[in-house]
């Protein structure tokens, strides 16, 4: 049936009117100015030139101190901002995520850190311009698991032993990057004090261990593609409990190579189990690595998964 040019024009006008009336999404970029080595001074110009402004209204906020990213994200959640983007490293990602877990607000990651473990796991580009164009503008999202250690949330990796001690020293070092991290890890390996601990999985399997380190892995890596849990998944409701015994000195370089090659699960010094809930009794209070940030914690650790509790762009 012929409707005539006038009717078709009316449909086009109405469609244009409805598109114009569609409310834009609001996105807040929470920027850690001291994370990593990237050129964050250029980031505002990248956002201005690359962000799809037909979809988004945006705001930039810079963190001033540790914990400020969490405050900014919490305020954004209260105000109903649609997306909060963590612009920084895994520590910044953790702070922003803490405020957004169990909310309806979507999180984005613009990696500017040293290791960028979660971004790598999600296969998000390490080029901020590409993240704006190919992740944020496209707006594709999914839900992933998070977890808690003694009530402290983490998104990617937590653990104790060598990695936690390395993270502690790395946080206090004035230099960033993979070489600095590797140097500290080697030094800590030679001076590592191996204490025994008792691990209970899902309240029904208990065993003793004398690990070099224990990692509770939601994602597959520490960062830098160092994959401590090559088979980990972000949305399976489980943590990979990765136990690494201290290798003899001649084997240590080979074990490190396996870690970087995603083959650590083939090492005779490595054991991996899965659980929803983990209880660890250590000999004494000690540092725990929470998404790359060292936190002193009680000798007893309770680790629990929060399935599909964070909505994230990828």
Q: What percent of the chain has pLDDT over 70?
A: 92
- Average pLDDT estimate for 115-123: 94
CATH number for the domain that contains residue 40: 3.40.50.10330
Please identify, among 117, 139, 161, the residue that sits at the C-terminal boundary of a domain: 139
On whether residue 105 sits in a domain, the answer given is yes
- 194 and 273 assigned to the same domain: yes
- 124 and 235 assigned to the same domain: no
Span 142-198, pLDDT tens digits:
999 999 999 999 999 999 999 999 888 887 887 777 888 788 888 888 888 899 999
- Average pLDDT estimate for 208-225: 96
Entry pTM? 0.88
- 114 and 192 assigned to the same domain: no
- 259 and 290 assigned to the same domain: yes
Predicted pLDDT of residue 171: 79
On whether residue 227 sits in a domain, the answer given is yes
- 133 and 198 assigned to the same domain: no
- 72 and 160 assigned to the same domain: no
Predicted pLDDT of residue 1: 44
- 194 and 251 assigned to the same domain: yes
Predicted pLDDT of residue 115: 87
On whether residue 284 sits in a domain, the answer given is yes
The average confidence (pLDDT) of the chain is 91
Three-state secondary structure readout of 141-174: EEEEEEEEECCEEECCEEEEEHHHHHHHHHHHCC
Residue 101 has pLDDT above 50, yes or no: yes
On whether residue 145 sits in a domain, the answer given is no
Predicted pLDDT of residue 229: 97
Please identify, among 89, 106, 139, the residue that sits at the C-terminal boundary of a domain: 139
Predicted pLDDT of residue 190: 87
The Cα–Cα gap between 167 and 160 comes to 10
On whether residue 265 sits in a domain, the answer given is yes
- 161 and 273 assigned to the same domain: yes
Predicted pLDDT of residue 186: 86
Task: Compare 238 and 39 and report the one with higher pLDDT.
Answer: 238
Span 15-62, pLDDT tens digits:
444 444 468 999 999 999 988 766 788 999 999 999 999 999 999 999
- 17 and 128 assigned to the same domain: yes
Owning domain of residue 162: 152-307
Q: What percent of the chain has pLDDT over 90?
A: 79
Instruction: Indicate the number of domains in the chain.
Output: 2
Residue 125 has pLDDT above 70, yes or no: yes
Predicted pLDDT of residue 7: 45
- pLDDT band at 2; cut points 50, 70, 90: very low
């Amino acid at each position: 049936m012929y409707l005539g040019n006038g009717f078709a024009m009316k449909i086009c006008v109405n469609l244009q009117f409805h598109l114009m009336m569609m409310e834009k999404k609001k996105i807040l970029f929470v920027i850690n100015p001291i994370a990593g080595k990237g050129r964050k001074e250029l980031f505002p110009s990248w956002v201005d030139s690359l962000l799809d402004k037909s979809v988004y209204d945006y705001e930039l906020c810079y963190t001033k101190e540790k914990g400020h990213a969490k405050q900014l994200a919490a305020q954004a959640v209260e105000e109903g901002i649609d997306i909060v983007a963590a612009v920084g490293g895994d520590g910044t990602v953790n702070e922003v995520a803490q405020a957004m877990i169990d909310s309806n607000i979507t999180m984005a990651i613009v990696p500017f850190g040293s290791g960028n473990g979660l971004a790598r796991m999600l296969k998000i580009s390490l080029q901020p311009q590409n993240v704006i164009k190919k992740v944020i503008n496209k707006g594709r999202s999914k839900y992933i698991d998070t977890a808690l250690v003694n009530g402290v949330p983490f998104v990617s990796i937590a653990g104790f032993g060598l990695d936690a001690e390395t993270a502690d020293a790395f946080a206090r070092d004035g230099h960033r990057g993979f070489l600095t991290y590797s140097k500290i890890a080697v030094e800590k390996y030679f001076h590592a004090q191996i204490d025994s601990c008792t691990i209970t999985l899902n309240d029904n399997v208990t065993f003793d261990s004398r690990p070099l380190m224990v990692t509770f892995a939601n994602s597959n890596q520490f960062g830098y593609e160092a994959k401590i849990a090559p088979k980990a998944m972000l949305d399976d409701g489980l943590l990979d409990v990765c136990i690494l015994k201290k290798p003899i000195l001649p084997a240590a370089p080979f074990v490190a190579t396996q870690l970087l090659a995603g083959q650590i699960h083939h090492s005779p010094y490595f054991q991996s189990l899965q659980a929803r809930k983990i209880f660890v009794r250590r000999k004494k209070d000690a540092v725990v690595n929470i998404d790359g940030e060292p936190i002193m914690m009680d000798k007893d650790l309770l680790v629990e998964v929060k399935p599909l509790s964070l909505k994230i762009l990828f």
